[in-house]
Amino acid sequence: MDVEKLKVLLESVRCGEVAVDDALRALRTLPFEDLGFSKIDHHRQLRTGFPEVIFCQGKTVGHVKEISERILAAGHPLLATRAAPEMYEAVKAINPEARYNALGRTITVSQSDEEGAAGILVVSAGTSDLPVAEEAVETVQMMGNRPERLYDVGVAGLHRLMGSYEKLLAARVIIVVAGMEGALPSVVGGLVECPVIAVPTSVGYGASFGGLAALLGMLNSCASGVTVVNIDNGFGAGYSASLINRLVAPRSSATPLLNVQPST
């Protein structure tokens, strides 16, 4: 439940349009709902502005289905990350509006048709980094933003990045996703005045150590203004970028989150 819905419910009780017992039933699962295997935090949007997100890795299809059902029943939008196709089919059986980004492995159900705020640019070094980049894009979109994509512009062909220099300059916050040696965030950080969120990926040969080489390179960036999230954590980057963009372009925490259909 978000702030606006809570206000409407309380006002309805005050005006006599909703019985106290009916309001009590609506509030009974607050602040969380205990499913035994999971405790769903229905108050998270009231505290942080964004509802709880499902991390599907390690969960069964049944877990994801039941958690999704309870989140949707509470009137929240749904974002599930690291989701397998069979999990999507289970959620779609609950809500036909569910959408699946197979590349980013996300399930989304929106409660809003708003266009979203501009200002976030998602950059990938290579095509192999796209699964992580798309997870970031889906997160950004569900959190009420309208991101731009700039893909396959790594340092092996820097002219590709400079060909879109105006996009870099126009952004309020930039997410840069890169594997291998993880050099691209430092390059971008030296070209722009906005915050840069670096995402190391596990893409690379043996000595990349599953993304550790990229992570260490980004943490030791010479460019100022570069912040680093965990390996392959597109969600974390998208969430942080959304918080930054919300400060620059304020919006009510009661505004429902957004879903934009992923590109194919």
Mean pLDDT along residues 203-220: 96
| pLDDT for the residue 202 | 97
CA quadruple 109, 110, 113, 119: dihedral sign: negative
In the prediction, which pLDDT does 136 show? 98
Token match 């594997």: residue? 179
Which residues lie below 8 Å from residue 96, measured CB to CB, with a gap of 6+?
Answer: none
Residue 106 has pLDDT above 60, yes or no: yes
pLDDT reported for residue 250: 52
Give ∠ CA 75-259-172 in degrees, rounded to 5: 120
- Residue 190's Cβ-side half-sphere holds a number of Cα atoms within 13 Å equal to 10
CA distances from 240 to 69, 103, 202 (A): 26, 21, 20
| CA gap 10, 202 in Å, rounded | 49
Residue predicted with more confidence, 85 or 37:
85
The encoded tokens of residue 182 equal 């993880």
- Name the pLDDT band for 163 (thresholds 50, 70, 90): very high
